[in-house]
Amino acid sequence: MKIVIQCAGRKRPDASHLRDANGRPILFVAKPDIAPETPNFHHAHPDDINLDGISWRDQLIEINKNPKNNPLNLSTAGSLYLPLAYRNLIAKFGKDQIYILSAGWGLIASDFLTPAYDITFSQSAEAYKHRRKKDHYNDFTMLKSNTDEPVIFLGGKDYIPLFCKLTSHITNQRIVVYNSGIPPDPPGCNILRYHTSTRTNWHYQCAQAIIDNKFSG
């Protein structure tokens, strides 16, 4: 099976950045125009156009064409986030089986070189970090339509619409795992409840249950 897990707000403290023409680190946010000014970072949206005339997103594609040449020392998506669940899933199932649903970048492979960013669907986040459902992003969609394995999603309800959108081309079974009292209704997907009293970041616990072969919906 392919496992898609939502991104995390907590990134590793040494996470690297893309840089602007002056060498200043870029911190990608949802609304750079209202982000607090800081001398430490240049705020930008992933789809903003840089001084080379291409979007930061397209620049990231170019970097990933030759990942062994990584002068900015960018982290892979699977190692960018602090929670151990991402690395544990990769260790158990292999990097080719794990994908990250990123509020900033879309559906990305676990070995995709990814810069630091601070974008989330969480409505409790500060406004400049908050991505709304109607906001336009040229999201990556890295899962191939002809995958011959079921695709399972681990993440909160705010991320389900993006998962459904970015996997709508998948012809195999898609399964959305949830733990809320009210089941979601993801179009074209099956649902499976994970029973736990944990409410915040329950999907990490679920990931470990899958790793330990102890998950039963």
Phi, psi of 55, deg, nearest 5: -75, 160
**Calpha distance 52→65 (Å, rounded):** 18
Q: Find the helix or strand (DSSP H, E) in which 85 lies.
A: helix 85-93
Would you say residue 64 lies in a domain?
A: no
In this structure, how many other beta carbons lie within 10 angstroms of the beta carbon of residue 194? 19
Kindly state the tokens that stand for 77.
Answer: 């998506």
Per-residue pLDDT of the chain (217 residues; tens, 9 = 90+): 999 999 999 999 999 999 998 899 999 999 999 999 988 899 999 999 988 899 999 999 999 999 999 999 999 999 999 999 999 999 999 999 999 999 999 999 999 999 999 999 998 899 999 999 999 999 999 998 888 899 999 999 999 999 999 999 998 999 999 998 899 999 999 999 988 877 788 999 999 999 998 876 6
The verdict on residue 91 lying in a domain is: yes
Q: Is residue 126 part of a domain?
A: yes
The answer to the question of residue 40 being in a domain is no
> Where in the sequence is the domain holding 206, given as residue range(s)?
2-14+76-211
What predicted TM-score, i.e. pTM, was given to this entire model?
0.94
Query: What is the average pLDDT value for the chain, to the nearest integer?
Result: 94
* 129 in any annotated domain: yes
Q: How many domains does one find in the chain?
A: 1
Query: What is the rounded distance in angstroms from the CA atom of residue 128 to the CA atom of residue 147?
Result: 36
Residue 151 resides in a domain? yes
Is 216 within the bounds of a domain?
no
Give the sheet arrangement for strand 174-178, strand by strand.
140-141, 106-109, 98-102, 2-6, 151-154, 174-178, 190-193
CA distance 57 to 45: 9
For residue 47, is it within any domain?
Answer: no
**CA pair distance 189, 151, nearest whole angstrom:** 10
